[in-house]
């Protein structure tokens, strides 16, 4: 889910940034680059699969390490002369998305964690049915809300929410980067 990739990317970026600089992340452009990086693989591949039906699965070009590694290195190199922090944030966001997808594949039977990242060497089997982009998003949200709001899933929902709450608290401790700068600008 998009918010999972955003939270995981922010967690890795914030902790890495603190480890290297001993400071919390700062700046709206850094946060936007990180957020964009965490969503880019799905924006590209889900559109190519669900929207344009060019690939049988939503894991292809942008999820491939054969694309992600050169793109990340290219962005880092391009940003080295100016705002390197923005390039690092984007690259951490992009690569964290792939890492998160690989980790989420571990409990699935018959799916190797690396399979999602090795296009075109590995092509995943097609979805059971072809659905439009809007249809698939609607189905996912409907299924999520239908399952999560039942009594038996409330415990799961609470457990599922804890990491997001912790990342949100980390973001607050970091000074709410991205939002805080806009609020300070408005108060001047």
pLDDT: is 124 or 90 the higher one? 90
- Please answer whether residues 91 and 146 qualify as being in contact, where contact means their C-beta atoms are separated by less than 8 angstroms: no
The larger pLDDT score, comparing residue 147 to residue 2, is at: 2
Q: Which of 8, 27, 120, 105 is nearest to 65 (CA)?
A: 120
Average pLDDT over residues 34-59: 93
DSSP string for residues in 83-116: -HHHHHHHHHHHHHHHHHHHHHHTTSTT--TTGG
pLDDT attached to residue 156: 64
Confidence of residue 13 (pLDDT cuts 50, 70, 90): very high
Q: CA-CA distances (angstroms) from residue 130 to 44, 58, 101, 140, 144?
A: 17, 12, 22, 14, 20
Ordered by start, the domain boundaries in the chain are 2-123+131-186
Four-residue CA torsion sign, 139, 143, 145, 146: positive
CA 77 vs CA 29, 68, 90: distances in Å: 17, 14, 12
Q: In 10 A of CB 46, how many CB atoms?
A: 21
Q: Which residue has the higher pLDDT, 178 or 38?
A: 38
| Residue 63 pLDDT grade (very low, low, confident, very high; cuts 50, 70, 90) | very high
pLDDT of residue 130: 66
**Is the per-residue pLDDT at 47 higher than 80?**
yes
144 token code pair:
């999520």
For 92-116, how does the pLDDT look when each residue is reduced to its tens digit (9 = 90+)? 999 999 999 998 888 776 778 888 8
User: What pLDDT does residue 64 have?
Assistant: 96
- Per-residue pLDDT, 27: 84
pLDDT at 184: 64
**Local structure of residue 152 (DSSP, 8 states):** G
Confidence check: pLDDT of 18 > 90: yes
Q: Is the peptide bond before 120 cis (omega within 30 degrees of 0)?
A: yes
Question: What is the CB-side half-sphere exposure of residue 75 using CA atoms within 13 A?
Answer: 20
């Amino acid at each position: 889910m998009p918010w999972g990739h955003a939270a995981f990317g922010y967690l890795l970026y914030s902790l890495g940034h603190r480890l290297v600089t001993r400071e919390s992340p700062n700046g709206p452009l850094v946060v936007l680059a990180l957020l964009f990086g965490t969503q880019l693989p799905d924006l590209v591949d889900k559109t190519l699969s669900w929207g344009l039906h060019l690939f049988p699965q939503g894991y292809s070009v942008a999820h491939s390490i054969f694309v992600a590694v050169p793109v990340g290195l290219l962005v880092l190199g391009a940003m080295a002369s100016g705002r390197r922090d923005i390039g690092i944030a984007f690259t951490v966001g992009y690569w964290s998305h792939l890492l998160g997808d690989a980790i989420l594949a571990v409990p699935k039977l018959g799916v190797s964690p690396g399979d999602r990242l090795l296009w075109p060497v590995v092509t995943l089997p097609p979805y059971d049915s072809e659905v439009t982009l809007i249809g698939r998003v609607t189905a996912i949200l409907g299924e999520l809300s239908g399952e999560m709001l039942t009594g038996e899933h409330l415990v799961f929902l609470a457990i599922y929410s804890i990491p997001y709450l912790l990342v949100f608290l980390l973001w607050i401790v970091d000074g709410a980067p991205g939002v805080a700068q806009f609020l300070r600008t408005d108060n001047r």
